[in-house]
Amino acid sequence: MNSQFDRRIFGSEMKYLHEVLQTEFRSSQGSLMMRRFEESFAKRFGSKYAISFVNGTATMHAALEARGIGPGDEVIVPPLTMSATTFAVLQANATPVYADVDEHTFQIDPRSISERITPRTKAIITVALYGLSPDMDSIMALAEMHGLTVIEDNAECFLGTYKGRLVGTLGHCSSFSFQSSKHLTSGEGGVVLTDDLAYAENIRKVQSLGYAGVSANKGKITKRDIQDPGYSRHVTMGWNYRMPELCCAVALAQTENIDALVARRIEVAKIFEESTRQFHDWFTPQFTGPEFTNSYWTWVTCIRNPKVTWHDFRDRFTAAGGDGVYAAWRLSYLEPMFTNRNLLGRERFISSENLDSYRKGLCPVAEFLQPRLVQFKTNYWDLGRAHQQAEILQQTLSTF
């Protein structure tokens, strides 16, 4: 794969947007793109049901609500990721419990998950961090042993594989994001995949205001139904989490080009990896085992030289002409919202024991990694620019 395109919008995005605008958003014409996008995305992943959402946080919130998870229930999550994973748990009024991560893959560690399970644990949210799957067989075995739901947060992983299987088809359901930085984007948006019909029905109702007339494969109630004065619309409480038609149009076009869009990121990551190979003893990339395919939302390394700080490296790299780098997110439980107990009232649903655990020392491996991780963007549509940046990176490393 190489230079068949030089930008991330190169397919039918404009054509599909025009089709939506031609409907003038008449309700009788609504959800046409939603249906087409959901069918296309489900087919690409070999899943039975795809349910689109306004973003990739609402997806996980809905997946928890659809399982009846709420106050007093615990959900195990990794601390080393964007805090939206934690927010989804808090939005369901449940308690986030943090499991540590593996030092080499940076993924949530099944051994730490096992240590965190209590009688109150109801679910595990895994995160395919930076484009790499966690050890899902071990996690699913724990879930089966304890009767837990596993939700895959795959915001950063499209077409990654684990032991020959697509990431996103391994848990009880999976969540993807179409936020602007992701492999596929519609500006904002998200989607949930599952093969469980009952679960899909419940997720759809959470997504669509608890409407009686929606289903796993149907995202819109009919005009004939809603114009009946005796029609009972809401069989349960739900949220208005539906993905707009304009976003669905773009997401459909992006899904049609998913292989090329993901392949470009992998190609760029390999350029960075090859150019730095001689420094991997201390500038160590995320480990991707032989049974994994990494889709490289970013290419990430850990600075293991005690004489080089994150800021030292960043400053020298940018001074040499580097495009800049990204830091790993502050660990969720060390964010001010936890240290200041500012959870918009959700703190009342969390036991004092769990509240007290949100402090340094809870996940020592994640705490070691977080200030040392350096993320490089992989969405270079000009491969010449990627090669140039890799050369600057190599030269920068040689100065330490």
Q: Which helix (H) or strand (E) holds 112?
A: helix 110-116
Whether 213 contacts 235, CB under 8 Å: no
Q: Per-residue pLDDT tens for 124-179?
A: 999 999 999 999 999 999 999 999 999 999 999 999 999 999 999 999 999 999 99
Same fold for the domain at 13-257 and the one at 260-397?
Answer: no
| pLDDT at residue 220, as a whole number | 77
* pLDDT tens per residue, range 182-239: 999 999 999 999 999 999 999 999 999 999 989 999 887 777 777 778 888 899 999 9
CA 400 to chain centre: 34
Tell me which of 4-13, 23-32, 99-108, 151-160 is least confident.
Answer: 23-32
Distance of CA 164 to the CA centre of its chain: 20
Q: How many angstroms separate the CA atoms of 321 and 82, rounded? A: 28
- Determine contact, residues 314/297, Cβ cutoff 8 Å: no
DSSP assigned state of 128: -
Q: Average pLDDT for residues 83-103, to the nearest whole number?
A: 98
Mean of pLDDT over the chain: 95
The band of 4, judged by pLDDT with boundaries at 50, 70 and 90, is low
The predicted structure's pLDDT at residue 3: 47
Burial category of 281 from C-beta neighbours within 10 Å (exposed 0-12, middle 13-18, buried 19 and up): exposed
Task: Using alpha carbons, select from 230, 239, 241, 242 the residue that is nearest to residue 210.
Answer: 239
Tens of pLDDT, residues 152-162: 999 999 999 99
163: annotated active-site residue: no
Cβ–Cβ under 8 Å, residues 197 and 49: yes
Catalytic residue among 182, 220, 270, 307: 182
Q: What is the spatial distance between Cα 308 and Cα 313, in angstroms, rounded to a whole number?
A: 7
Does residue 10 surpass a pLDDT of 60? Answer: yes
User: Do the strands 292-293 and 161-162 form a parallel or antiparallel pair, or are they unpaired?
Assistant: antiparallel
Residue 348: Cβ-neighbour burial (10 angstroms; 0-12, 13-18, 19+): exposed
CA dihedral sign of residues 103, 107, 109, 112: positive
pLDDT at 101: 98
Give the distance between the most distant pair of CA atoms in the chain.
Answer: 76
Whole-angstrom distance, CA of residue 60 vs CA of residue 183: 19
| pLDDT (mean) for 248-264 | 97
d(CA 78, CA 332): 9
Q: Are strands 165-166 and 161-162 parallel, antiparallel or unpaired?
A: antiparallel
Yes or no: is domain 13-257 CATH 3.40.640.10? yes
State pLDDT tens for residues 348-368: 999 999 999 999 999 999 999
Contact 10, 257 (CB under 8 A): yes
Confidence category of residue 2, pLDDT binned at 50, 70, 90: very low
pLDDT in tens, 294-336: 999 999 999 999 999 999 999 999 999 999 899 999 999 999 9
**Among 235, 245, 178, which residue's Cα sits nearest to residue 204?**
235
Q: What is the pLDDT of residue 230?
A: 81
* CA torsion through residues 71, 101, 175, 301, sign: positive
Q: Which residues of 282-319 are buried (b: 16+ CB within 10 A; e: fewer)?
A: ebbbbebeeebbbbbbbbbbbbebeebebeebbebbee
Q: What does the pLDDT read at residue 31?
A: 77
Q: Which amino acid is at 7?
A: R
H or E element at residue 268: helix 258-275
The CATH superfamily assigned to 260-397 is Aspartate Aminotransferase, domain 1 (3.90.1150.10)
pLDDT tens-place string over residues 34-43: 999 999 999 9
- Counting residues of the chain whose pLDDT is more than 90, the rounded percentage is 90
Domain residue ranges in the chain? 13-257, 260-397
List the one residue out of 276, 131, 231, 250 whose CA is nearest residue 189: 250
